[in-house]
Chains A and B, each alone.
Chain A
Amino acid sequence: MNMANAVREHLVSMLVHNKPGVMRKVANLFARRGFNISSITVGDSEVPGLARLIIMVKGDERIIEQIEKQAYKLVEVVKVTPIDPIPENRVEREMALVKVKFGDQKQELFQLVEIFRGKIVDVSKEGAIIEITGSRSKVEAFIRLLSENQIVEIARTGIVAMNRWNVVEKEGF
């Protein structure tokens, strides 16, 4: 399989006018064009009045090119910047809060939290809430290592990311 047809996850950073309904428009556009969003986050950007969306989608190169071009068709979209697929070239973070029961594995749990440099942000007799921050794969690895009957609740922020200083950003289409 050549690279162009390979399906992988892509991150794009989108600067948009911060107006009511803009998230809905972006999400709607992606759904209509058959692009699968696996993560979307939104927050204020460095420019007043503009918000930044970080979106993760799955697809091949052609789909990714279409995403950028289609996104620009929304009047609300100001700029689309692809985030470098090479992990060393970007900084990517996600945070998860995980509510866990101790059961008889309290010690193991504390060890795990330490290995993953997580934080215990709340404790009680039955269990704790753990905050874990890192790349998506790190967050997911942590969750995978917990046993299913330990987990009570998970809340995740979705991914925020940006290219490192040394990455020359290619102007979107």
Chain B
Amino acid sequence: MKGSKMLFEALLREGVDTVFGIPGGAIINVYDELCNYENKIRFYLFRHEQGATHAADGYARVTGKPGVVIVTSGPGATNTVTGIATAYMDSVPLVVITGQVPTSMIGTDAFQEVDVTGITMPITKHNHLVTSVEELPYSIKEAFFVATTGRPGPVVLDFPKDIQTAEGEFDYPEKIEILGYKPTVKGHPRQIKRAMELLKNSKKPLVIVGGGVNISGAMDLVNQFLDKFGIPAVSTLMGRGVNPSNEKLYYGGIGMHGTYYGNYAVANADLIIALGVRFSDRIIGNPKTFAKNAKIVHVDIDPAEIGKNVRADVPIVGDVKSVVSEFLKYDFKTDFSEWIEELQEVKRRFPLRYEKGGKFIKPQYIVEKVDEVFPDDTIVVADVGQNQMWVAQYYKFKYQRSFVCSGGLGTMGYALPAGIGAKIGVPDKEVVVFAGDGGFQMNIQELMTVRRYDIPLKIIVMDNKALGMVRQWQQLFFNCRYSATILADNPDFAKIAEAIGIRAMKIEKPEEVDRAIEELARSKGPMLVHALIDPAEVVLPMVPPGGDVGSPLVEAPYDENLVERILSFEKSRGE
């Protein structure tokens, strides 16, 4: 069997039925073979390899299955780099297959040769250059095995052209074992017991739900755990979807743009049970003051996360799902009602809020409206920047794997292609993409992919005529010196969408929001809403970088001059 055929046979054995990519010279044999698998594998052609990679990532995040990308060597491979790094930071399983020049030409600076394993080494869980057709079946097996087990992550398989055409025996291993690679799933019983004893003796416990809970599919168990012991919880950006039946037990997001009361809970807890959390700097702010009153129980499948950024009093290496089900076997009475009352009081005094009224559309209102109008199990995809934070703050996620965004890398341009991949992964659910005007333009070409496959994606561009989040930092920390952030000359995104053949609507008045979102929800096909939003709105609360999470900024002056500047630009253009 030829190497390229082995690849598809292996994909079928791995249960892969969806592949994303763009062809090229060094992978043309594989694409030729694809024709023989048309009825078994759905292939989606993107307009940029970054788009294809983010799509595979979005697909993987909502389905839990690995996303598969096939691209050519050189520029095809380098175009996937941002997508791979994005997946790596958020522990998303991808298998990226890159064409490579023939083995005899490796190292000669051949046409479209780059050192793919070298370039992707620090952003992959594992990578491998296939050196013979004999090792190909094992290498593919290993790629899927490593990508999907333990802490998931992207794996790159560099596939030279001569091996694609070489003949060999296709002997696909059912199971493999790699010496030295054995993720720990079950938590240590003694540590679990210590954690539960701390809980029994705690007055102010808090659960921090992280991305690991979504990845391991443990959200229901976590909700049960919260309800059973009456423990309040907060979540990181990647840990959204917490939904205990007692709603007094959930206090929203934490970190830089967390809720005031969520961060208050962290700062005042005496016990933190962190589930699948990596304690990034965006969560902890100042590491010296972070959770200074709390003992920390840290549960994670990756031992390297424990003790990396914060000390752990009780380290538990294991899969969150397995560990929480062990927690649930414990039975003892707890009463944290005083602590919950304290949190409720803080929540009443410092709620999440924004100024209503005024002549501009408020982005937070758009998010609330989408939450109200769209079904509960809608998948929401956000880009990066203010839009992402408004979605994270104001959308009430009820299910695991329902919020998709680039958390660790913060990749602008992620949302549109990831949304496409998500919709391909779960066609029965609504998928809504939120993007800022800046990020949207970074992968705007994928509107063509939406059109090509008629993917009923619902897209909302929140246009504040700026690289909003950076502009916000300039507003708050750089004296309103808006260096290179104003995009007053943005195009009409609705017209662009229409030119491509996607239904679109442009809105600029607050009273237009309801109708637009309702239309969006009703639309059977893809649709885009271009919303001109308040150009001076900021995301609050905000813990300044490295600041103390217990004392975030809750107010900021509104910059009238900025509004003036953007409006006068429009006038000068005669709009």
Q: Which A residues are within 8 Å of any B CB, using their own CB?
A: 15, 17, 20-21, 24-25, 28-29, 32, 50, 62, 65-66, 69-70, 72-79, 173
Contacts and interface: CB of A to CB of B under 8 A. Distances in A.
B477 interface: no
A149 B308 CA distance: 47
Q: Which of B121, B178, B304, B306 has the most CB of A within 10 A?
A: B304
20 contacts: A15-B180, A17-B179, A25-B121, A28-B121, A28-B122, A62-B307, A65-B307, A66-B304, A66-B307, A69-B304, A72-B303, A72-B304, A75-B125, A75-B126, A75-B142, A75-B178, A75-B180, A78-B180, A79-B180, A173-B303
B121 A69 contact: no
Contacts of B302: 73
Contacts of A78: 179-180
Contacts of B181: 75
A162 B181 CA distance: 23
Nearest to A69: B304
Interface string B114-143: 000110011001100101000000000010
A66 B146 contact: no
Interface in B80-123: 117-118, 121-122
B562 to A, nearest CB: 39
A25 B180 CA distance: 16
B180 A77 contact: yes
Given A62-B307, A66-B304, A32 B122 contact: yes
Nearest to B178: A75
Interface size class of B (residues with CB under 8 A): 20 to 34
Contacts of A15: 180
B303 A69 contact: yes
Interface of B: 117-118, 121-122, 125-126, 129, 131, 142, 146, 178-181, 302-304, 306-308
**Minimum-distance CB pairs A-B, first 7:** A78-B180, A69-B304, A75-B126, A32-B122, A69-B303, A173-B303, A78-B179
B103 to A, nearest CB: 12
Contacts of A24: 118, 121
A25 B117 CA distance: 10
B26 to A, nearest CB: 20
Contacts of B142: 75
Contact of B131 (A20, A65, A69, A173): A20
B290 to A, nearest CB: 16
A21 B106 CA distance: 14
Nearest to A71: B304
A16 to B, nearest CB: 8
Contact of A21 (B117, B178, B304, B308): B117
Nearest to B117: A21
Interface centre among A32, A66, A69, A75 (most CB of B within 10 A): A75
B362 to A, nearest CB: 42
A19 B279 CA distance: 34
Nearest to A173: B303
A73 B304 contact: yes
Contacts of B131: 20
Nearest to B180: A78
Nearest to A25: B121
B88 to A, nearest CB: 11
A20 B139 CA distance: 14
A70 B306 CA distance: 11
A74 B124 CA distance: 10
A75 to B, nearest CB: 5
Nearest to B145: A75
A118 to B, nearest CB: 39
A24 to B, nearest CB: 7
Nearest to A19: B128
Contacts of B306: 69
Given A20-B131, A75-B126, 17 more contacts: A15-B180, A17-B179, A21-B117, A24-B121, A28-B121, A28-B122, A32-B122, A66-B304, A66-B308, A69-B303, A69-B308, A72-B303, A73-B125, A75-B146, A76-B180, A77-B180, A78-B180
Contacts of A75: 125-126, 142, 146, 178, 180-181
B520 to A, nearest CB: 43
A24 B122 CA distance: 11
A8 to B, nearest CB: 19
Nearest to A62: B307
